[in-house]
Amino acid sequence: MQIPKRKSERQSQQDSDPYITPQKADELQNELDRIIKFIRPKLIKEVEEHAKLGDFSENAAYQIAKGRLRGINHRLLVLHELINNAVIIDEHGSKDRVRIGSTVIIESAGSKKTYQILGSQETDPQKGIISHLSPIGEALLGKKVNDEVEMDINGQKIKYKILKII
């Protein structure tokens, strides 16, 4: 089932990256379970209580509760789609080539950097977690230890040498 989109959302939303770690999959499943078991029933009850007060057009509390319920229903659809379309990353796979899930130690101009290559939903450049869709991630995928990758970043040619694949 696809998530319904408003006209304004159809053009701006792109398909999400399906690659996630097992930890992220568990996190999404826990959020889904929490919403289904606790949050949504509470909001449904709140909407029902406000509906008893009568005129819906002038019942601000009802309108607010209904809006929150719509928001949580949308989040449920998003979570279902993310979980059903997820491709779980095997972080303990082959170490001979860089792949999604690999941690790579690279060297450029004498400085070493460590990157973990994951799906775009889990990126955190400050912690060295980059997307496989990022320029560096794309350039490193499929390479082996001692391979060199040349990239054009901000108009400068930068060479990276792969030192280790973890």
Neighbours of 154 (CB within 10 A): 5
Number of domains in the chain: 2
Q: What type of residue sits at position 29? A: Q
Between 28 and 155, whose confidence is greater?
28
Residues in the chain: 166
pLDDT of residue 149: 94
Q: Is residue 73 over pLDDT 50?
A: yes
Helix (H), strand (E) counts: the chain: 5, 7
Q: 150 with 162: CB under 8 angstroms?
A: no
Predicted confidence band at 24 (pLDDT cuts at 50, 70, 90)? very high
Residue 6 within a domain: no
pLDDT tens for 116-153 read: 999 999 999 999 999 999 999 999 999 999 999 998 88
Residue 59 within a domain: yes
Q: In whole numbers, what is the pLDDT of the chain averaged over residues? A: 89
Neighbours of 47 (CB within 10 A): 19
Residue 3 within a domain: no
Same-domain status, 129 and 161? yes
**In this structure, what CATH number is given to the domain that contains residue 35?**
1.10.287.180
Domain extent for 30: 16-88
Residue 4 within a domain: no
pLDDT of residue 4: 62
Q: 67 with 46: CB under 8 angstroms?
A: no
**End position of a domain, from candidates 28, 63, 88:** 88
Same-domain status, 77 and 111? no
Sign of the alpha-carbon torsion through 64, 32, 100, 164: positive
Write out the H or E segment, with its range, that includes residue 160: strand 156-165
Residue 64 within a domain: yes
pLDDT of residue 10: 47
The share of the chain scoring above pLDDT 70, in percent, equals 91
Between 46 and 11, whose confidence is greater?
46
| φ/ψ (deg, to 5) at 39 | -70, -50
Residue 96 within a domain: no
